[in-house]
Structure 1
Amino acid sequence: MSIRKRTWTTAKGIEKTAWVVDYIDAKGVRRLKTFPKKKDADQFGATAKVEVREGVHVADSDSVTVAAASAFWIATGEDEGLERSSIDQRKRHVELHIKPFLGSTLLSQLTVPGVREFQDKLRKNGRSQVMTRKVLGSLGSLLSDAQERGLATRNPVKDMRSRRRRGKERQADKRQKGKLKVGVDIPTREEIKAIVAAVHGRWRPLLITAIFSGMRSSELRGLRWSDVDLDKAEIAVRQRADDYGEIGPPKSEAGERTIPVPPIVANALREWKLACPRRRISGAEEEEAITELHYVFPTGSGNIESRSNIIKRGFLPSQIAAGVTVQTGEKDKEGQPVVAAKYGGLHALRHFYASWSINRAQDGGLGLPAKVVQERLGHSSITMTMDTYGHLFPRGDDADEMAAAERSLLG
């Protein structure tokens, strides 16, 4: 490898200089790269020398743009059988956030400062903190895929994050995520009682099952009657329905589980089974149609219900009927305050189930150990359970336990 100065005169008689790095890459191909300053050439030469020795160097002429690499990344997801919703999310991140700012940048020229600048641009152009974090995650995954294809040398997103995972920044991340709070993220016992008393019709069995089983909305939508054992009061989670109504396996291996349910669920499902819509399996004419009882919470024609329908027509109106509401700050035509449902998605009911499972019996809960809570929720690891709900578990130094310890010690 050599670094030499090049001098030439333009057609207008102006003398110019540049510094050229002349080297042989890992493939044995001679490469030339020009820099306006010697310090830039020296820096590149030192880096390239190490990369060539390690066999990871990628010359600019062999690299591709971020836009081109994104197409490979999406194709990789399709080949790996990712769900349609995951593929669509990749496409949205690429088209709406990554391409507008980095699309024409070569992977070989993408650096940690460049990624930091990209992050700043996302924020300045109206992306939320949550969206910025998600897009950075997608960019990091895109670059990892490019590395495996030999199109990139480094993953500056990973390098940037590894530098940040220290001290104050790590603590800031924890504070930013925040803890789930009862009455804010998790419905209170009084709110759940009110919802159970107010919900009626076809939404009653669904919401009661969601409250007392902790199932994800996708698992509820894909639940079959063959997975429900009313005699044993158990629900087996064996599949889920995605946002497009396509059936697939549970979210993870741990998602396949059997959940015991209280009598209120078994009784609600037993009544609902008599009225549950059946789906047509053959026959073109109504008189010839053959139907079967298949999905537990289907549409009127027996097919998979949409998530938005469940929320907009079932969960939100049930909260309003139960008085579980918040003020919107607006007023109706008669000057009365307008209220809205307090909890926006069914995941709030899953949070309640987790808290109910954790709470002590004297506090109206099940008092289950952390490992059992993990299994009931279908979390892939106990770490996920504890990171999300660890603060809800009773402490050994709570008032009652401290009083009992004092009596035991002092008599």
Structure 2
Amino acid sequence: MSVRKRTWKDKEGIVRGEAWVVDYVDAKGVRRLKTFKLKKEADAFVKTMAYEVVQGTHVADRDTVTVKKAGELWIATGEGEGLERSTINQRKRHLKFHIEPFIGDTLLSKVDPRAFQDTLRAEGRSAAMVKKALGSLGSIFADAIERKKATRNPVRDMRRSRKGKESRAEKRQKGKLKVGKDIPTRDEVRAVVAALSGRWRPLLLTAIFAGLRSSELRGLRWQDVDLEKREIRVHQRADEFGEIGPPKSEAGERTIPIPPIVINALREWKLAYSRPIIGKDDDGKPIREDAKPHHLIFANGAGKVESHANIVNRGLVPAMLSASVTVPTDKKDEDGKTIMAAKYSGLHALRHFYASWLINRPADGGLGLPLKMVQERMGHSSITMTADTYGHLFPRGDDADELAAAEASLLG
């Protein structure tokens, strides 16, 4: 192995260029030459390369691939592993719109993730999108390493060096979920419940008092609900394309007790459930097919999986507007009055409320459940996720009244 300076002279013997060349033998016994503009770059490469050669992990530039090719292999890996179509499509979107345009033709060994991050920001990508694109790039490198097309994951290395600082900055920017801002208040939920009607009433009541994800609501079958035991068993979910599959994680498969208001709404819905007419009775009234166990409870008019957009735009938003759970917009109507919008425009707000309902003291209208039970009811894969998201909502146990009672007990 050697590092030497190389110069280029013209016919008159005048030096026109120079570079530093590393001459080495890789792990396969193949002689390699690699050129650098600066000696410090060559020396740094020698240190890294020497270790990689000993470990048998070194990959020469000519043996690696471009980011675009590695991305295509990454997508192929996901398809081979049977990932959901929505996940594969997300990978394709990230690669096509946020990675390829900037570093698609760059060899993996030449990628600078920090420069890539700066480019995304300069191109106007949101902070969330930058984070997602970097995550996808890191996954591309991870797949390339398994395929022996790369030896290290620079995205992982970058994040590891800044993990603490970025985590703290992200937490400061994101902040904690707040009641009245991210989580509907008790009064707001009361108003929404009172405003619910028609086919959206049982669905949104189930969302409020069972905390199911949108995909779980859309995949819920009659056989998953035990009206006598007053519980829902989550066994499947419907993705954004309406395809049925297993829950989001192993923890997603769970049993959830439900209150009487949901039971009654589901009983009424089952009686009124839109089913095929199979005949007429003696009075000429239509006889409909009984709701079968495998039927989706909240199917659309065609009996297929209801879309998430319909639930939000035709169910949740109108209910919020009807209940006056609204916020003003910048728009005016024909009379010059401010147009109001739904305060909470996503189903996840109802899931947040459900978590807060599980956590709050019974005296405050909640169930007062411990952290572990909240995790199980929410279907979170780890108790850390539950604690990080909702830990601040748990009663502290050291408010003024409880401190006074503890003092009296101690001092008599």
TM-score, L = length of structure 2 = 0.93
Matched, 1:118 2:119: no
- Name whichever of 124-133 and 193-202 sits farther off: 124-133
Match of 1:200 in 2: 197
Matched, 1:5 2:2: no
Match of 2:18 in 1: 17
Match of 1:371 in 2: 372
Which residue identity does 2:3 align to in structure 1? Answer: I
Match of 2:257 in 1: 260
Matched, 1:249 2:246: yes
Contact 1:357 1:366 in 2 (8 A): yes
Q: Hey, what's the Cα distance between the residues in 1 that align with 2:289 and 2:188?
A: 42
Shift in Å at residue 39 of structure 1? Answer: 2.8
Contact 2:360 2:395 in 1 (8 A): yes
Q: Hey, what's the Cα distance between the residues in 2 that align with 1:82 and 1:343?
A: 31
Q: Hey, what's the Cα distance between the residues in 2 that align with 1:328 and 1:174?
A: 28
Match of 1:283 in 2: none
Match of 1:284 in 2: none
Shift in Å at residue 130 of structure 1? Answer: 1.1
Q: Hey, what's the Cα distance between the residues in 2 that align with 1:292 and 1:234?
A: 18
Contact 1:198 1:318 in 2 (8 A): yes
Q: Hey, what's the Cα distance between the residues in 2 that align with 1:37 and 1:236?
A: 64
Contact 1:279 1:301 in 2 (8 A): no
Q: Hey, what's the Cα distance between the residues in 2 that align with 1:97 and 1:325?
A: 35
| Aligned-partner SS, 2:327 | strand
Q: Hey, what's the Cα distance between the residues in 1 that align with 2:12 and 2:312?
A: 72
| Aligned-partner SS, 1:354 | helix
Matched, 1:191 2:188: yes
- Name whichever of 41-50 and 352-361 sits farther off: 41-50
Instruction: Give per-residue Cα distances to partners, 1:175-218, cap 9 Å, x unaligned.
Output: 12211000000000000000000011000000001100001010
Q: Hey, what's the Cα distance between the residues in 2 that align with 1:161 and 1:295?
A: 43
TM-score, L = length of structure 1 = 0.94
Contact 2:275 2:289 in 1 (8 A): no
| Aligned-partner SS, 1:328 | strand
After superposition, residues 31-50 of structure 1 pair within 5 angstroms as: 31-50=32-51
Matched, 1:326 2:327: yes
Contact 1:277 1:298 in 2 (8 A): no
Contact 1:18 1:37 in 2 (8 A): yes
Instruction: Give per-residue Cα distances to partners, 1:98-135, cap 9 Å, x unaligned.
Output: 1111111111122xxx2111111111111111111111
Match of 2:82 in 1: 81
Shift in Å at residue 56 of structure 1? Answer: 1.3
Q: Hey, what's the Cα distance between the residues in 1 that align with 2:352 and 2:226?
A: 24
Shift in Å at residue 290 of structure 1? Answer: 7.6
Q: Hey, what's the Cα distance between the residues in 1 that align with 2:376 and 2:220?
A: 18
Structure 2 alignment gaps of length 5 or more: 278-285
Shift in Å at residue 14 of structure 1? Answer: 4.3
Go from structure 1 to structure 2 and tell me whether the alpha carbon gap of 1:121 and 1:379 turns closer, same or farther (over 3 Å shift): same
Structure 1 alignment gaps of length 5 or more: 281-286
Match of 2:237 in 1: 240
Which residue identity does 1:231 align to in structure 2? Answer: E
| Aligned-partner SS, 1:163 | helix
Contact 1:217 1:307 in 2 (8 A): yes
Q: Hey, what's the Cα distance between the residues in 1 that align with 2:153 and 2:400?
A: 50
Which residue identity does 1:5 align to in structure 2? Answer: K
Shift in Å at residue 165 of structure 1? Answer: 2.2
Shift in Å at residue 278 of structure 1? Answer: 3.3
Q: Hey, what's the Cα distance between the residues in 2 that align with 1:241 and 1:11?
A: 72
Match of 1:305 in 2: 306
Go from structure 1 to structure 2 and tell me whether the alpha carbon gap of 1:224 and 1:164 turns closer, same or farther (over 3 Å shift): same
What is the number of equivalent residue pairs in this alignment? Answer: 401
Contact 1:279 1:302 in 2 (8 A): no
| Aligned-partner SS, 2:57 | coil
Which residue identity does 1:94 align to in structure 2? Answer: L
Shift in Å at residue 13 of structure 1? Answer: 5.8
Q: Hey, what's the Cα distance between the residues in 1 that align with 2:44 and 2:302?
A: 67
| Aligned-partner SS, 1:245 | coil
Shift in Å at residue 400 of structure 1? Answer: 2.7
| Aligned-partner SS, 2:322 | helix
Q: Hey, what's the Cα distance between the residues in 2 that align with 1:182 and 1:39?
A: 55
Q: Hey, what's the Cα distance between the residues in 1 that align with 2:25 and 2:289?
A: 72
After superposition, residues 270-289 of structure 1 pair within 5 angstroms as: 270-278=267-275
Matched, 1:356 2:357: yes
Identity %: 68
| Aligned-partner SS, 1:265 | helix
Match of 1:146 in 2: 144
Contact 2:230 2:263 in 1 (8 A): yes
Match of 2:282 in 1: none
Match of 1:405 in 2: 406
Shift in Å at residue 170 of structure 1? Answer: 3.5
Q: Hey, what's the Cα distance between the residues in 1 that align with 2:12 and 2:37?
A: 19
Q: Hey, what's the Cα distance between the residues in 1 that align with 2:214 and 2:167?
A: 32
| Aligned-partner SS, 1:165 | helix
Q: Hey, what's the Cα distance between the residues in 2 that align with 1:70 and 1:405?
A: 61
Q: Hey, what's the Cα distance between the residues in 2 that align with 1:343 and 1:196?
A: 14
Shift in Å at residue 279 of structure 1? Answer: 7.1
Shift in Å at residue 303 of structure 1? Answer: 1.4
Matched, 1:92 2:93: yes
Shift in Å at residue 41 of structure 1? Answer: 2.1
Which residue identity does 2:171 align to in structure 1? Answer: K
